[in-house]
Structure 1
Amino acid sequence: MNITEEYNLWLQHTADNQELHQELVAMQNNKAQIEDAFYCELAFGTAGLRGVMGAGTNRMNSYIVARASQGVANYLKQKQTQPAVVIGYDSRNNSRKFAEITAEVFAANGIKVHIWPELMPVPTVSFATRYLKAAAGIMITASHNPAKYNGYKVYGADGCQITTEAANSILAEINKLDIFKDVKKADFQTALASQQISYIDDAVYNAFLKEVKQQSVLFGEEVQKDAAIVYTPLNGTGLKPVTQILAEAGYNNIKIVPEQKLPDGNFPTCPYPNPELAEALKLGIEYAKKNNADLLLATDPDCDRVGIAVRDEHDEYQILTGNQVGVLLLDYICSQRSKHHQLPEAAVMIKTVVTTAMAEQIAQSYGVRTINVLTGFKYIGEQIGLLEQKGKAGNYIFGFEESCGYLSGPYVRDKDGVNAAYLICEMYSYYSTQGVSILQKLAELYKKHGYSINLTCSYEFDGSTGLAKMQQIMNNLRQGVAELAGKKVISVLDYAGGINGLPAENMLQFTLEDKCSVIVRPSGTEPKLKTYIYAIGESKAQAEQIAEKLIASSKELLK
C-alpha cells in the first residue's frame, strides 16, 4: 500500500475521532505533511513506541496505541494462560487517555489490568509489575522529550524493559493486525465495575517508598537536614513521591518552583524538559537565587532522571553533569558501605559504555567490580536480573548512566528519580555535616583520579531523509578515521558486530592518544546522532581545551 492509499484509508476510518479526522482533512492538499505522517510506521522496539502525537502511521495516536496493545496482548496470551498487566502514565498530553485505551484493549482480551489511579513516575510501573507478579508493565511516557511527543514503554515480568527477542515477537504480532479491524476494546468504566480493570492500591505505592528509604547508606549516622532545597518536577510526575519521601526523611526546608509544580503536558516554561540541559534548570536556578537555596533538584516528566545545581562559594549555581553526580554518588555509597562494613564481598557497579571511565577507577579503588553495558538503562536492569537469578542481587550497589539516570537498589529495574533525589539530598547533608561541599568533594575526586570531562553532543536529522542521512554518516565513519583534533586514533570498536558479549548496537568508539575517546551512535528514541566526548587532562583548563577541540573535530565528521 502506498502513502496516498494509506492516507485515504485513515481518512475513511477515523470519522469517529473528530480531532484526528480534522487533522487528516487539513493536510489533504499538503503532500509533504502526508508523506511525513505516513511514509513509515512508528518503530516498535525494546523501548516500545515513541513519536510526535498526531494523525498517521508515523505518529503517536489512539489507533497506534490500541494496535500496539493488541499486539502485546496476543503475545502475552501465548506465554501465559491468565496474564495480568500494570499500566502507568505521566503528565503528558493524552497520557491518561492512551493509558485508558491500553487498559480497554487488555481488558477486552481477558487480561487483568492493574492501573495506577493517578499519574506516577516510571519506576513505580517497574516496581508494581514485580510486586503484583504481572506478566508485563506499560508506561505511557516520552520521558524528557518536548511536549509534542508521547510514548509507550513496555516492561517484562521482571520489571525490566523488554528484550530484543520479546520486542521482535511483539512487533510480529502487531504487524499481523489490521489497525481498524483487528483490535478488541472494552468500555473502561464497565471493565472497572467488573474488576477486569482495577486501580492499584496505596499499599503498593507505600511499599515502593519503603524500598527507596532502605537505600540510605547512613546506617544510623546523624546528619544535618536543614539544607535549603529547591525542587522542580518540571510539570511532571515527581511532585508527590519526591516531596513525600524527603519530608518523611526529615528534609523540611524545601520549596517548589511554582510555575513547574503542577502537571502540565505543554511544559510552558520548559520546552525541552530534560534535566540534563541548562535551559530546563533555568527557572529553578532563578528561584534558588531568590531563596538563597543550597541545592536545586529537577526531575524529568516521568521522574526517572534527576538534574542538580549547587551553590558555590560565590553564591552562583553550578550545574553538575550526570557523570559528575554519578561519580559522587558512587563514591559516597562505596565509602559509607566500607566504613560501616556493609560493602558486599563481591560488590558490583554497573554503568553504560558511554558513561565516564572515572567511575570504573573509583569502583576499583574500593574493590568493587564494574560491569559495562550498552547505552540504555534496560541493560543495567538486565544485569541486575542476572545477578538475581544467581541469588546475588544484594551484590549490586549502584548503577548509572551519563544522562542523569541512577539506581542504588535491585527493587526496580529502571532508573529511579525518587531514589536519586533521596540519595542526593542525603549525600549533600552528610558532606555538609562534615564541613565539606559537594564541589569540594568533586574536586577531591578529580585530584585523586585525574581531571576528566565528559560531554554529550546531539545532532538532529529530522524528516523522511533523516534516517538515511544518519545511516550514511555511520557507514562513512566505518571506512576509517585516522585522527580527531590532532590526536591519533589508536583503536576503533564497532559494536555493530557485538563486543565483549554485548548485543549488537550501531555504535562506534574511537580511542585516541592520551586516554581520550569519542563515541558516535544514533539515538534509540529520537532522530539524532549523539557523540560522547571523553577528555582527560592534568588540569580543568587543559581538559576543557581538549574537549572543545574534540567536539569541533567530531562535528565535522557528522556533516
Structure 2
Amino acid sequence: AAEVLAANGIKVYIYKELMPTPMLSFAVRNLGCQAGIMVTASHNPAKYNGYKAYGHDGCQITLKGAEIILSEINSLDMFKDIKTSDFNTELEKGNIEYISQEVIDAYYNCVLAEGINTDLCASSGLKVVYTPLNGTGNKPVRTILKKIGITDVSIVEEQENPDGNFPTCPYPNPEIREALELGLKKCEEVKPDLLLATDPDCDRVGIAVPDGDNYVLFSGNEVGALLFEYICKQRIAKGTMPENPIVVKTIVTTNIINAIAKDYGVEVIDVLTGFKFIGEQIGFLEEKGEEKRYIFGFEESYGYLSGGYVRDKDAVNASMLICEMAAYYRTQGISLIQARENLYNKYGVYYHTLHSFTFEGESGMIKMNDIMSQLRNNHPKEIAGYKVISCSDYKLSITKDIATGSETEIKLPKSNVLAFELEDNLKVVVRPSGTEPKIKTYYTAKAPTFDDAKKIELKLAEDFGKFFE
C-alpha cells in the first residue's frame, strides 16, 4: 500500500512495527494527514483481511465518504492507472517516512490523560493476566499498564507475539469464549483479579473476572455500563465532570446507559451500529468547540473510548480504564462481580445476547434480503407473547407506534436495521452484518433477577429465531 501511494504522489507515514488501529487514527490527526489506512482482519479470521479507511479527522469514513471513494475506485483501470514503486527507494526520497517515537509518546500521554484514579493503581495489588490474541496490543497495552503502576501482569505466552494466522483460535474475538480459553487456563494457574484480552488490531477488549473458583466473562454491555457509571461517579467526585456531559452509544447497546445517564445528568446520543458514527459525533462537538462535553462512547461489541484524541474505539485506553476501575474497587474491598451486582441492584438487571445466523454464497445473500423484507413488510405484532409497542425502520427512517399508527422521523443515516420495542422494557433488533454473510439479532430482557431475565431472553430468541430457519 505504501509503495502504491508513494508512486502516485501521495506522502506516506508508516509505523516501523505493527500498531493498533487507534494509533493509526491518532497519527492521522497528529501528523495532519488527509487519510489513513489500516490493513487488518480486525477480530475476524485471517481470510477476512482487508483495510479500514480513515478521513482527515481520524474517523473511519462514513457512508457519504465511502460512496465518493468507491466512485473514484470504479473510475480507474487497476492495470493502467495505478503506479507502483520500491519501498526503500521511496523511503530514501522522503516520499515514505517512518512515524517517530514522539508521535507514539504523544499518543501514550493522551491515553494517560484519560485516567481518573491512576495514582491508586501501584498500591492496589491488582493482578492481571493479559492476552493480545497474537495481535498488535502486546507492547502498547503493557506500556500503559506499566505507566500507571500495574506491574503484576502475566502474559499468555502462546498468544503474545503477532501471528496473522491466529494459530491458537480461528476467531480471535474477545467476545467468544473459545478465544479466551488459553487465558482462562492461565488464570487457573496465576489466580489474577482480572483477565484482559484485546483483539488483534487492539480496538476491542474483553474481560473475565473471578467468581468463586471460576472465571466469568463479562459482556461488552456490562463492561461499558460499569465503566460509564465509574467515570460519572468519579469525575463528579473529582470535580472534573464538564457542563452538559454527553455519552454516545449505538442503537443496539444496552439501555441501562439511559438509566445511569439520567442519574448523573448526562445526555445520551444514540447512533447507528459502528464506532465511526460515535467518532462522527465527537467531530460534530469539536466543530462547535464543545468536544470536552464528550465523556464516554461505546458499543456492545466490546469497543470503548473515553476521550476525543482518537476517533475510533481504543482498547489501549479501555484496558487502562478497566484496570484502573478494578484497582479502585479493590482498594474499596469490592470485586468486579460485586460492582456488577451493585449496578444491577440499583438500575435493574439488563440481560443482552447476540445471535448470528450465517448465509453463505449468493443464495445466502438472497435469503438474507428476503428475511429482512419479510420482517419489514409484515413485522410481528408480538414476540414470545410480548406485545410489540413500536417498530423502528432505520432504512425508511420511520418509527411507527403500533397502537396509534403514528409515525416519527428517525434523524439518522439510512441503514438496513429494524428495532422492535416490546412491553416490559424488552427489545429485539435485527440487521445484516456489514462485514460477514450473517444476520445479527440483539435481544434485551429486563427483570429483577438474572434468572428471570435469562428466561425471558430464551423465549424471545426461540420465537424470533423461527424467522431464520
Q: Deviations over 1:371-413 (max 9, x none)?
A: 0000000000000000011001111100000000000000000
User: How far apart are residue 181 of structure 1 and its match?
Assistant: 2.2
User: C-alpha offsets along residues 63-82 of structure 1, whole Å, 9 cap, x if unaligned?
Assistant: xxxxxxxxxxxxxxxxxxxx
CA offset at residue 293 of structure 1?
Answer: 1.4
Deviations 1:267-303 (A, max 9, x none): 1111100001111111101111111111100000000
Q: Deviations over 1:97-130 (max 9, x none)?
A: xxxxx11111111111001111000000100000
Q: Write out aligned runs for 1:512-531 (5 A).
A: 512-531=422-441
**Aligned counterpart for 1:464 among listed residues 354, 358, 362:** 362
Aligned pair 1:480/2:390, yes or no?
no
Larger Rg: 1
State the distance in 2 between where 1:226 and 1:476 align. 55
Residue pair 1:226, 1:252 contacting (<8 A) in 2 also: no
Question: Paired residue for 1:277?
Answer: 176
Contact 1:219 1:340 in 2 (8 A): no
The partner residue of 2:128 within 202, 215, 229 is 229
Measured in 1, the distance between the counterparts of 2:108 and 2:348 equals: 37
Shift of 1:151: 1.1
Deviation at 1:228, TM superposition (A): 1.4
Q: Which residue of 1 aligns with 2:404?
A: none
Distance in 1, Cα, partners of 2:63 & 2:83: 26
CA distance in 2, matches of 1:147, 1:184: 27
**Hey, what does 2:283 align to over in structure 1?**
385
1:221 CA displacement: 5.6
- Give unmatched runs, 5+ long, in structure 1: 1-101
CA distance in 1, matches of 2:366, 2:110: 45
Q: Distance in 1 between matches of 2:164 and 2:369?
A: 32
Q: 1: distance between equivalents of 2:203 and 2:453?
A: 30
Could you list the structure 1 runs, at least 4 aligned residues long, displaced by more than 4 angstroms after superposition: 219-223
For 2:111 and 2:121, locate their aligned partners in 1 and report how far apart those are by CA, in whole Å.
19
Partner of 1:126: 25
Match of 2:348 in 1: 450
Q: Does the alignment pair 1:213 with 2:213?
A: no
Deviation at 1:222, TM superposition (A): 6.8
Distance verdict in 2 for CA 1:219–1:178, change over 3 Å:
closer
Answering whether residue 143 of structure 2 is matched by residue 244 of structure 1, we say yes
Aligned to 1:421: 319
Moved more, 141-150 or 350-359: 141-150
Counterpart for residue 265 of structure 2: 367
Distance in structure 2 (CA, Å) of the matches to 1:451 and 1:116: 44
The answer to whether the 8 A contact 2:32-2:56 is kept is yes
Between Structure 1 and Structure 2, how many residues are aligned? 457
Q: Which residue identity lines up with residue 166 of structure 1 in the other structure?
A: G
Letter in 2 for 1:465: S
Percentage of matched positions with identical amino acids: 54
Question: Which of 304, 307, 332 is residue 230 of structure 2 equivalent to?
Answer: 332
Distance change (3 Å), C-alpha of 1:219 and 1:421: closer
Task: Output the CA distance in 2 between the equivalents of 1:269 and 1:220.
Answer: 36
SS of the residue corresponding to residue 172 of structure 2 reads coil
What amino acid maps onto 2:115 in structure 1?
S
2:94 aligns to what? 195
Q: Provide the secondary structure at the position in 2 that maps to 1:496.
A: coil
Instruction: Report Cα offsets for 1:239-272 as digits up to 9, x if no partner.
Output: 0000111012111100100000011111111110
**1:525 CA drift (Å):** 1.1
Alpha-carbon separation, structure 2, partners of 1:224 and 1:536: 38
Cα deviation for residue 456 of structure 1 reads 0.8
Aligned-partner Cα distance in 2 for 1:444–1:332: 12
- Pick from 258, 274, 299: which aligns with 1:376? 274
| 3-state secondary structure, aligned to 1:530 | strand
Deviation sequence 1:189-225 (CA, Å, 0-9, x none): 1101101001111111111011001110127667733
Contact 1:223–1:433 (8 Å) recurs in 2: no
- Aligned counterparts of 2:47 and 2:326: Cα–Cα separation in 1: 35
> Partner residue of 1:104?
3
RMSD of aligned Cα (Å): 1.1
* Compared CA separation, residues 252 and 219, structure 1 to 2 (3 A): closer
SS at match of 2:49: strand
State the partner residue of 2:220.
322
Q: Distance in 2 between matches of 1:496 and 1:337?
A: 38
Q: CA deviation at 1:512?
A: 1.0
Find the aligned partners of 1:434 and 1:424 in 2 and give their Cα distance.
Answer: 15
1:117 counterpart SS class: coil
Per-residue deviation at 1:540?
1.1
Normalising by the residue count of structure 1, what TM-score does the alignment of the two structures yield?
0.81
Give 1:178 deviation, angstroms.
Answer: 2.0
CA distance, structure 2, for counterparts of residue 528 and residue 220 of structure 1: 44
Displacement of 1:180 in angstroms is 2.2
Task: State the alpha-carbon separation in 2 of the partners of residues 552 and 310 from structure 1.
Answer: 29
2:154 to 255, 260, 277: 255
Task: Report if aligned partners of 1:116, 1:199 keep a CA contact under 8 Å in 2.
Answer: yes
Within 1, Cα distance between the matches of 2:236 and 2:179? Answer: 36
Query: 2:218 and 2:122 mapped to 1: Cα distance?
Result: 23
User: 2:335 — aligned with what?
Assistant: 437
8 Å Cα contact 1:224/1:430 also seen in 2: no
Aligned counterparts, 1:106-185, within 5 A: 106-185=5-84
Letter in 2 for 1:413: R
Cα deviations across residues 422-458 of structure 1 (Å, max 9, x unaligned)? 0000000000000111111111111111111011111
Q: Please give the per-residue CA displacement for 1:293-331, whole angstroms capped at 9, x wherever unaligned.
A: 11100000000000000012x121010000000000001
The partner residue of 2:310 within 381, 397, 412 is 412
In the aligned structure 2, how far is the partner of 1:188 from the partner of 1:105? 9
Residue 295 of structure 2 is matched in structure 1 by: 397
Unaligned runs of 5+ in 2: 398-408
SS at match of 2:362: coil
Counterparts of 1:509 and 1:527 in 2: how far apart (Å)? 20
Length-normalised TM-score, structure 2: 0.96
Q: Which amino acid aligns with 1:536?
A: K
Inter-partner Cα distance in structure 2 for 1:120 and 1:411 = 16
Q: Is the 8 A contact 1:451 1:538 kept in 2?
A: yes
Where 1:436 maps in the other structure, the secondary structure is: coil
Q: Which has the higher contact order (CA 8 A, sep 6+)?
A: 2
Distance in 1, matches of 2:30 and 2:468, equals 45
Contact 1:223 1:430 (8 Å CA) reproduced: no
| Contact kept? 1:141, 1:302, Cα under 8 Å | yes
